[in-house]
Amino acid sequence: MGIWVRLCVGSTIGLLAGLLALAAPGKSQDLGQTSTVLASLPPMGWNSWDSYGLSVTEDEFRANASWLAQHLAKHGWQYVVVDEGWYLQNPEAKPGSFRFTMSADGRYLPAVNRFPSANDAGFKPLADWAHGLGLKFGIHIIRGIPREAVDRNLPIAGSTYHAADAADKADTCPWNADNYGVTDTPAGQAYYDSLAKLYASWGLDFVKIDCIASRPYKGPEIRMFSQALRKTGRPIVLSLSPGPAPLDKLQELRKYAQMWRISDDFWDRWKASKQSFPQGLLPQFNLTANWAPYVGSGHWPDADMLPLGYIGPRPGWGKARETELTQDEQRTVMTLWSVFRSPLIMGGNLTRMDEWTTSLLTNDEVLTVDQHSKANRVVANDAKKAVWTAQPATQSGLYVALFNLDDQPQTLQFDWADLSLSGKVHRVRDLWQHRDLGSSKKLRVILRPHASVLYGVAETK
């Protein structure tokens, strides 16, 4: 198979090279800027929300991060992120009864009853520990300034302002009322500057900021927080949530963030429920098709976390469970995310991994498509099927992803010219199965409902 043998042998090397690119970013030419490129490849990692919701503890986090370092890091997985609520002393309580951990200058701190290494050092000990494993450490925050800080009118660190000067009391997050919005004023910038300095002192590499990318879109706060992170001089990847982020704000998103959500919360469903929440897998095909032309180094439309494996013991939504996606649907998730080049952020509990789920996350031939492909485009996208193609970053040939979106088995067949390929005969390799399928004058595959394939195709000389 020539090209595909070389690509498969070099896939792990390519992923390791990608890690080096993340550690030593290049220079961006996007938007005429010369700033350092963060996340030159789609970030890969694990986030605590799907399995633990508000309630993850330090021991649970360390156990998942350790598993990632041992089993996934060599395949390119790098980030470990503590999601929402790390400052809550009683995350099991109902909203309105939470006990917050907060500094004297109005900034949330890790709850030491859940993160005992924090003490007076915040997350720095945990970040140092993650860095010692060769990983990158991140947290989730809700945009804005704590209501409690505003009610007490606490001082804003490093400034002459106080919390009330920065707060927009008419603005709260629709699903989390713990914070007020931050005004687009010097006082508001000073508060976000104080957060960024704190996070940089902890050694953060990643911040996911929520309630900012949609419902409603908060452009001024995105700009202020992004600028605050840049002022620190520390390379901190900025991820915006939730979606769907507005496509007409593309230039702002590319200027100020490295990742932004393109959908509402995605969970382990093929279709959305009658209430339209959570987001199912099927609608992701149209969303990724819309955003595909705008994927590029340092700018990653994010199809959301991967609800694979065991989701528990205290999920962010629903009851503890094995993922309710079928094995075909799970592979379809990984195929679509990879050919779209979405960030890959695992949500399942890594300490409960089975052989099947591990195989999805460690297939270097598939991960190479996510990390090292280009010209990713949609060839067909309708109610029954989707077809994507992409080019290897440094080789000839083509990646082809075929999806059956129907509830019945389906045969998909294409001439090579339909995929913009010249030549009458092409060799085909199944990247999921690591298997050469031989040469063919056309592409034909029978797919079960909701199933997919990902092929490498090269012209026969």
CA nearest neighbour of 428 among 455, 394, 398:
455
Looking at the fold, whether 413 and 358 belong to one and the same domain comes out as no
Looking at the fold, whether 396 and 280 belong to one and the same domain comes out as no
Query: What does the pLDDT read at residue 3?
Result: 46
For residues 27-35, give the mean pLDDT.
39
Cβ atoms 394, 13 nearer than 8 A: no
Asked which of 311, 343, 371 is the last residue of a domain, the reply is 371
The more confident residue out of 378 and 273 is 378
Query: What does the pLDDT read at residue 276?
Result: 66
pLDDT band, very low/low/confident/very high, at 368 (cuts 50, 70, 90)? very high
Looking at the fold, whether 81 and 179 belong to one and the same domain comes out as yes
* Range of the structural domain that residue 193 is part of: 3-371
Looking at the fold, whether 301 and 400 belong to one and the same domain comes out as no
The more confident residue out of 418 and 395 is 418
Looking at the fold, whether 43 and 67 belong to one and the same domain comes out as yes
> Would the pLDDT of 35 be above 60?
no
The more confident residue out of 398 and 23 is 398
Query: What does the pLDDT read at residue 18?
Result: 38
Please identify which residue in the block is written with the tokens 């300034």: 145
CA nearest neighbour of 140 among 171, 173, 175, 110:
110
Which of 378-412 are b and which e, b meaning 16 or more Cβ less than 10 Å from the residue's Cβ? bbbbeeebbbbbbebeeeebbbbbbbbbeeeebeb
> Would the pLDDT of 23 be above 90?
no
CA nearest neighbour of 333 among 384, 380, 285:
285
Looking at the fold, whether 304 and 444 belong to one and the same domain comes out as no
> Can you tell me whether residue 260 is helix, strand or coil?
strand
Residue 55 per-residue DSSP state: G
- Looking only at the bridges linking them, the beta strands covering 167-173 and 259-261 are unpaired
CA gap 229, 81 in Å, rounded: 17
> Would the pLDDT of 5 be above 80?
no
pLDDT tens digits for range 74-103: 999 999 999 999 999 999 999 999 999 999
CA gap 407, 259 in Å, rounded: 32
Looking at the fold, whether 90 and 208 belong to one and the same domain comes out as yes
Looking at the fold, whether 277 and 164 belong to one and the same domain comes out as yes
Query: Which segments within 94-252 are labelled E, that is strand?
Result: 136-142, 145-146, 167-173, 176-182, 206-210, 237-240
> What CATH number should be reported for the domain holding residue 68?
3.20.20.70
Query: What does the pLDDT read at residue 2?
Result: 45
279: left (phi over 0), alpha (psi -120 to 50) or beta: beta
- Decide: residue 149, CB within 10 A, 0-12 exposed, 13-18 middle, 19+ buried: buried
Cβ atoms 262, 287 nearer than 8 A: yes
> Would the pLDDT of 15 be above 90?
no
Give a yes or no: residue 407 inside a domain. yes
> Would the pLDDT of 460 be above 90?
no
pLDDT tens digits for range 128-178: 999 999 999 999 999 999 999 999 999 999 999 999 999 999 999 999 999
